Structure 1
């Protein structure tokens, strides 16, 4: 009985695939290659080429058959695709009219019927021009004006994400996509890839979720994922923008963090000694990165108006609040004397006022 039922299901699958082949106009090699593995996707979208991926996912550039509109489609094997789609859909609704530009637009979710290829979900997303990683690889070190604009935009978006009780857990240049609204305008940095994200009330219960080079010490060593972990990632991302290198190249980051923790409290930011500060001319930029990458998350800069944990010197708190206060009337910018001291890196933010 069971064998007969399986044969019937197999025959039905073959019939559906045959019908799909007969009724569809294929235009690409990828369509032909993936029509049996992802029939629901190929039925609605024409797949042009693979443009990225890693782990359990692949990203394609595709055109919607109904109107020819172009999208990026992230194909995820396993239930993680459904979780990521739900997060992105919720954030898009929550941020409507606020900072939704800072997130990659989520169009729809396509689910394949379970088959021999397992559970598969396709996230149809806004197609951007390139990633921040691509930008740095092409241009090298970014100047302080461009870096300031990037960190302002990302800090604001992350604050909105945290307000929705979500921690990204994998902030890095490859997960920041750049969209040029039109020729001659500055690009919009967009946070993408929520595949490693978690809820604040239900964080990861294991060490090492995320990307090793940009992972915070508490996530790597303790399996602790908090909003300060995203601030660490943002600080290391800013460091990469200004230096065009990873924070700890050719080093065992875990050993660096463990050694720093063992030292006297006054030397607990020993990991900063392993970073290339000579490539960052602005003292203010160095202070910002150092404040965002304190080994102790309680002393790290936050995305909140009020500083949590042990108080930092007033000037350092206000320096960071200043960059987050751009365009936000709820947070007051520092007084004139402090603004006057914001040379180099911080002076570039005047372009956004």
Structure 2
């Protein structure tokens, strides 16, 4: 993770000392911290508070956040970020996670350009495994994008992180309050249309992510939010020529009809076939 340089010496829940800010997003701030009880470095996500909410709504929002974070903490997969703890300090939720020594896929693309087909297949397989594990547990990620994929230095391990707007089966979610939260360039058309979504929506986002990894640019990038929405829902989808032998996978994941969209199991089979045969 990159370091932004801001420092904070607060201690959360009597054991997690916040040290350096690693990043900021729509859902909060991520800190490098020390677990002083166990003597290890961790990442702590401090979730933002909405000053416009009254006490009841703020409490409901906090409870939903904690419920969803606890559900994610039950996920055990080598390509899903490990959640160590979920705590509340001064009525604000904090999610304590493993600290990944490395940057995001978005940072990697910005610094070094697109990845080759073999690396894209490797990343795709890792994320498909992570998504299958989450979906089998009833958890939808809903914000798959390069910034939420970490690549560990040295090992190259791919880690899906930031389940901050995840949806848990059977629960009213943090984002079901009349506002859209997510990344439009990577959001499935059925979500854009306000329809109830399922695992297929995460797979669309993976297809868009693979396009970005291979070409350096999302196929749905436009100059305005309206342009992005129109591109996702209506425009011809121009998959990158760089995808080469992975084009069938990318096109299958970017099928607008979720009923016809390529499933995770078939996408894994196709990517493995490429990896094994080159």
If the length of structure 1 is used for normalisation, what is the TM-score?
0.65
Partner secondary structure for residue 32 of structure 2: strand
Hey, what does 1:226 align to over in structure 2?
Answer: 198
Hey, what does 2:188 align to over in structure 1?
Answer: 216
- Measured against aligned partners, the alpha-carbon deviations of 1:25-72 in whole angstroms (never above 9, x if no partner) come to xxx9521xxx4xxx535x423322111122241011112223431111
Instruction: Count the aligned residue pairs.
Output: 256
Displacement of 1:123: 1.0
Hey, what does 2:269 align to over in structure 1?
Answer: 322
Hey, what does 1:308 align to over in structure 2?
Answer: none
Q: In 1, are the aligned partners of 2:220 and 2:232 still within 8 Å (CA)?
A: no
Are residues 1:69 and 2:35 paired?
no
Partner secondary structure for residue 134 of structure 1: helix
CA RMSD of aligned residues (A): 2.6
Displacement of 1:281: 5.2
Hey, what does 1:107 align to over in structure 2?
Answer: 84
Hey, what does 2:145 align to over in structure 1?
Answer: 172
Match of 2:8 among 17, 30, 33: 30
Q: In 2, are the aligned partners of 1:207 and 1:222 still within 8 Å (CA)?
A: no
Displacement of 1:238: 0.7
Partner secondary structure for residue 222 of structure 1: coil
* Distance verdict in 2 for CA 1:210–1:223, change over 3 Å: farther
- Give the Cα separation in 2 of the matches to 1:50 and 1:91: 23
Hey, what does 1:161 align to over in structure 2?
Answer: 134
The answer to which structure has the higher helix fraction is 1
Q: In 2, are the aligned partners of 1:200 and 1:226 still within 8 Å (CA)?
A: no
List alignment gaps of at least 5 residues for structure 2.
1-5, 50-58
Superposition map of 1:6-21 within 5 A: none
Are residues 1:248 and 2:220 paired?
yes
Are residues 1:127 and 2:132 paired?
no
Are residues 1:54 and 2:19 paired?
no
- Give the Cα separation in 1 of the matches to 2:269 and 2:220: 28
* Distance verdict in 2 for CA 1:160–1:289, change over 3 Å: same
If the length of structure 2 is used for normalisation, what is the TM-score?
0.81
Are residues 1:287 and 2:259 paired?
no
Higher relative contact order (CA 8 A, sep 6+): 2
